[in-house]
Structure 1
Amino acid sequence: MSDSVIIEPACKTDDAGFHRLVSREQARLRPYFPVTVSRCTDVGATRRYLKELVASAKAGSFHCFMLRDYEGSDPIGALILKQFDHALGKCEVAYFISEAHGGQGYATLGVMWAVDHAFGRLGMRKAVARIAPDNAASIRVVEQCGFLREGVLRGEFRTASGEFTDLLYYGILRP
């Protein structure tokens, strides 16, 4: 597992680095992060997208954080807290990590941090993750973070290609 990861709120100055990350990983990201891929077509478009994400964070509706390795260079991944239901105290955690940094514990540390942030700073009582059944790496991440599989959401997600797919539904409750 990685010794450390730097996690910071997304900001518009992440534009070039985030664009490079999304460009390198677009084949892997496109099916399940189609908006991110479609909005990060060049550095200027990425800057505008990040500016919108910063505004959404200020409004409390969507929080995006960049993961960096201990050297603090370009982003190596992203964490997202979204789909807030304040009446239930619930939000969704989404994330991706570059293929080059996969399997080193960065995603696990990031998800642990995101859950702690959702519970401690944002006052949520439950965090959920929706994961494609064939995404074994993401399933391992959430299970290592203490999430429990709560069920299968049939035909729950439409991929970038228009295909409807099932998602596994995982949840964790605030202790």
Structure 2
Amino acid sequence: MNKYIVKMLSVNDNNAFFQLINTNRERLEDFFAGTVLRTKTIADTINYCEEIEQKINKKSYFPYLILEKESNVIVGFIDVKNIDWNIPKAELGAFIDSKHEGKGIITTTMASLIDDIVNEHHFKKLLCRISSRNTRSIRVALNSGFELEGTIRCDYKTTKGEIVDLNYYGKIF
């Protein structure tokens, strides 16, 4: 039985979401720069969650929290972003709380979430853009059935100003 559940982020989750980001802020700032920037305080996080709620209603962004069933503690985050309804396709991003790394939580929860969002939204393609140096996220993508489509050189600027290569992984449905 899966010990984790995935649920859509709501404004009511702002305190727990803030704590998740704040605890992992330094390690997230390069590749979740927008989220980190918009959640510096509880008040910022409330505003950010309210804006996200509007994006959910417009079907332009779907953020999900990963919770441990027994404790109801948030241990991770998966978002569906850069949605193109013309195809339809979307990009997935994910992170896990540092205390829960290496347990396969993202891989397990991502598999069930992918099934759910493909069935609900009829996506034809999902993709992940991952730093070519992020071996853990690459492993998650490959274990989730994504295939390397290519590496785009000098494709992303981190918050520290480093320009890095991104691997593009895709999954067709």
TM-score between both structures, scaled by the size of structure 2? 0.95
Unaligned regions of 5+ residues in structure 1, if any? none
**CA deviation profile, 1:91-129 (whole Å, cap 9, x unmatched):** 101111111111112101222133223311111111000
Deviation at 1:72, TM superposition (A): 4.4
Query: 1:143 aligned to 2:147?
Result: no
CA distance in 2, matches of 1:86, 1:15: 28
SS in 1 for 2:63: strand
Query: 1:62 aligned to 2:73?
Result: no
**Is residue 93–residue 114 contact of structure 1 (8 Å, CA) maintained in 2?**
no
Letter in 1 for 2:47: R
TM-score between both structures, scaled by the size of structure 1? 0.94
Letter in 2 for 1:10: L
SS in 2 for 1:121: helix
Partner of 1:121: 120
Partner of 2:109: 110
CA distance in 1, matches of 2:10, 2:65: 9
Letter in 1 for 2:72: S
Partner of 1:3: 2
**Is residue 6–residue 72 contact of structure 1 (8 Å, CA) maintained in 2?**
no
Identical residues among aligned pairs (%): 28
**CA deviation profile, 1:127-160 (whole Å, cap 9, x unmatched):** 0000011111111111111111110011111111
Unaligned regions of 5+ residues in structure 2, if any? none
CA RMSD of aligned residues (A): 1.3
